[in-house]
Amino acid sequence: DMAAVGGRAPLTAKWTAAADSAGVISSVELVLSFESGCTGGAAGDLGMGIQFSDNCYRHEDFTCAGAITTSRKPGNTAVRAPGVIATVPLSEEVIERVAEAIGMPADAVREVNLYKDGDVTPLVCGGNVIGSERFNWNVPSMWASSRAAWHVDARRADISAFNTANRWRKRGLAMMPIKYGMALGDFHIAASVRIMGSDGSVQVVHGCCEIGQGLNTKVAQAVAYRLGCPLDAVVVGDTSSMNGPNTTLTGGSGTSETACAAALDACAKLVASLAPYRSPDWAQTVSAALDGGASLHEAGWYQPHPAKPFQYATQGVGAVEVEVDCLTGEIQISRADVMMDQGSPLNPMIDMGQAEGGFVMALGYYLTEEVLWADATNAQINLGTWQYKPPAVHDIPLEFNVSFLAKTPNTSDYAVLGSKASAEPVMALGAAAFYAARAAIKAARADAGETGTFDLEAPLTVQRIQQACLVTAQQFKLK
């Protein structure tokens, strides 16, 4: 498969920015180029990359444009968080470089440029009113509370002392936010709910695919909640276009909430049919309804008609601390902290697993999963895990803390039971590991006498880390 089919489209970008001495970045221009291989599959990466390119920051003058390029390599296609996982770090790169240029801490530059209530995102990024009832905004408060709770300033001081005392091992810490807009306009979802027999058994079927994201569990819970029946009475049937016709897609992290919405639509009709027969006992309610001739089979449909591309945003902040070996380039993630605003989660445990898994998956993109090509043949030359390195057990942070913002239901008109999407929204926070490594490399370069700015490519493999640390044989001296 790896030899015949491409993967995530690589991004090459150019940018310019203007900022004042207080760190306010007034102007940003981003130009994107996604390599699509021999097909046009990277068009989705380009579209989403542009829409998410502002991340959490307001700039008076902001533009982002780009194109896809083709080559003789296998065709690339959309992969989890397409485009977003590449352009959000580009926004963070602007922050980092501006901070270096004006001599301010990068965190301070981030804080001064965060969107505030009443700001409007650029049209190419959705044109949403930040902090409105339909697009709530919790990043500034999450940033402030997390920075204090995670003791970021004290840890930076400890890192500085460690780096001063150690020549060949360096530590770094980076903190960043994420705004992941959810576009639900393409989700057209069918579902049906059937109450079968006087024992109150319930079957729900929908047109979406359970692929490990916990979709069926969430749908079953939503049905039990709305009907007022025991959860163990609900069975989720197999996905079939016969039972869930005209469903458009499974993907984009919006399937769980939209499938729940379709099932809830069917349940609302059943609740009305059951109302005259309702009693505290579910089985008795169903038996009475059947005796009364009620139809207990209803179809549900979800098809929103939003006026804007994004109906809300899942938001979060993350901080990552790493230690690198300057001699070998090896990197260890010592600690990662993540806080996500999931609204009122449809299932907190499932969403927690999605947040943890999405973050670790992203670590591969930023640190290890380098794709190598033969120049003469355009063939991929690292076709197995001996050379191509997805995240493994030793890549997981030694201390990994993930939490959800409490008691903040999603207030959007399109919210399903106050929830927000999980899975892809957390992924770009993995870039904090990249920038934490950059901070460690910067300390190593300073010891080597190089204090100027420098470029780094992702993934930040051990080879790239070692080379960026500027270690030479002349630096090895016996004391």
Residues classed as catalytic: 424
Q: What's the rounded Cα separation, in Å, for the pair 156 and 175?
A: 11
Sign of CA dihedral 13, 115, 181, 99: positive
* Residue that the structure tokens 């905004």 belong to: 137
Residue 470, classed as helix, strand or coil, is coil
Q: What's the rounded Cα separation, in Å, for the pair 336 and 288?
A: 55
Q: How far is CA 437 from the centre of its chain?
A: 20
Phi, psi dihedral angles at 169 (to 5 degrees):
-130, 130
Size (the chain), residues = 479
Beta bridge partners of 322: 172, 333
**Amino acid letter for position 219:** V
Q: Where are the alpha helices (DSSP H) in 103-238?
A: 106-113, 139-149, 152-165, 215-227
CA distances to 134, 140, 191, 255, 316 from 214, in Å: 26, 30, 17, 10, 21
75 touches 421 (CB < 8 A): no
Long-range contacts of 60-64 (CB under 8 A, 24+ apart): 60/26, 60/27, 61/18, 61/26, 61/27, 61/28, 62/27, 62/28, 62/29, 62/122, 62/125, 63/28, 63/29, 63/30, 63/122, 63/124, 64/29, 64/30, 64/31, 64/32, 64/122, 64/124, 64/125
Record the tokens describing residue 52, joined without a space: 């998410």
Q: What's the rounded Cα separation, in Å, for the pair 433 and 395?
A: 11
Of 91, 3, 12, 4, nearest to 45 by C-alpha is 12
Non-local CB neighbours of 242 within 8 Å, separated by 6+ positions: none
SS3 content of the chain, % helix, strand, coil (to 5): 35, 20, 40
**Amino acid letter for position 109:** V
Sheet with 297-302, side-by-side order of all strands: 234-236, 201-206, 189-196, 297-302
